[in-house]
């Protein structure tokens, strides 16, 4: 019988750490909102699959929004009205890609400050929807170099906990693993492991941003 190797022990530690995180998601409901012309079976489905690896317990929802291709790519205001009528669960997490992030953040400003919102590659305004308030539970991940939202990101630092990530293009699918690594510690409760808190702190303070995408996540590959 062979003795356990160092790699074996590293694998055990990784599995134990992952199980701790899985047991401590602070959200019972997670809504993933697609962008303009998108649909529930696109980028948001891929991101959900990655988040489920760490947190299978929350109820995940991927609604088909009016600004999506299934409903004729209507203006952003219609999607805000849709979300208001959807009766999103209290204290839920909304993760929105591009226009999905904007309408999620706007929903917060309609008396739903209980919601937590992560905006990915989102503008601060589109169509007739413009963000006006800075709210506590709002995180914006974007790149000011993103040509799709160019000229519509400068106000993010005044509206949210904002992080301008040079490597983040508008092609969310190509960054899905990195984005999942950023979202996972945000979904963990306040009692997450020490290494998880430190990794998230490194990301939020920009400690690793100058080392490329993998390091910018602050989390292990």
The answer to whether residue 210 sits within a structural domain is: no
Which residues span the domain enclosing 48?
28-170
The answer to whether residue 70 sits within a structural domain is: yes
The answer to whether residue 146 sits within a structural domain is: yes
The answer to whether residue 38 sits within a structural domain is: yes
Q: Helix crossing, 76-86 with 99-108: angle to 10°?
A: 50
The answer to whether residue 12 sits within a structural domain is: no
Question: What is the chain's length?
Answer: 221
Evaluate the CA torsion angle 45, 20, 141, 123 in order and state its sign: positive
Residue 24's pLDDT is 75
The answer to whether residue 215 sits within a structural domain is: no
* pLDDT-derived band at 150, boundaries 50, 70, 90: very high
Q: How far apart are CA 46 and CA 3, in angstroms?
A: 39
Does the pLDDT value for residue 143 go beyond 60?
yes
Q: What is the pLDDT of residues 49-87, one digit of tens each?
A: 999 999 999 999 999 999 999 999 999 999 999 999 999
Q: How far apart are CA 57 and CA 161, in angstroms?
A: 27
The total of structural domains in the chain comes to 1
Q: How far apart are CA 146 and CA 98, in angstroms?
A: 11
The answer to whether residue 19 sits within a structural domain is: no
- DSSP letter for 5, please: P
Query: pTM of the predicted model, to two decimals?
Result: 0.80
Q: What is the mean pLDDT of residues 116-128?
A: 97
The answer to whether residue 130 sits within a structural domain is: yes
CATH number, domain containing residue 84: 3.40.50.1820
């Amino acid at each position: 019988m062979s003795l356990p190797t160092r790699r074996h022990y590293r694998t055990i530690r990784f599995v134990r750490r992952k199980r701790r995180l899985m047991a401590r998601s602070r959200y019972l409901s997670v809504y993933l909102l697609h962008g303009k012309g998108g649909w529930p079976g696109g980028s948001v489905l891929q991101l959900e699959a990655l988040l489920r690896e760490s947190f299978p317990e929350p109820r995940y929802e991927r609604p088909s929004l009016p600004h999506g291709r299934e409903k004729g790519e209507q203006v952003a205001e219609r999607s805000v009205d849709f979300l208001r009528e959807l009766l999103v669960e209290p204290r839920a997490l909304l993760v929105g890609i591009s226009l999905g992030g904007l309408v999620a953040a706007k929903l917060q400003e309609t008396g739903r400050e209980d919601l937590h919102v992560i905006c990915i590659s989102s503008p601060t305004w589109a169509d007739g929807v413009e963000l006006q308030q800075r709210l506590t539970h709002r995180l914006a991940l974007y790149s000011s170099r993103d040509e799709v939202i160019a000229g519509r990101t400068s106000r993010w630092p005044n509206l949210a906990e904002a992080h301008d990530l040079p490597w983040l293009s508008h092609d969310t699918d190509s960054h899905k693993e990195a984005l999942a690594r950023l979202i996972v510690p945000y979904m963990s409760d306040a009692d997450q492991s020490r290494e998880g808190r430190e990794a998230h702190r490194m990301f939020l303070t920009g400690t690793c941003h100058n080392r490329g995408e993998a390091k910018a996540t602050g989390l292990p590959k």
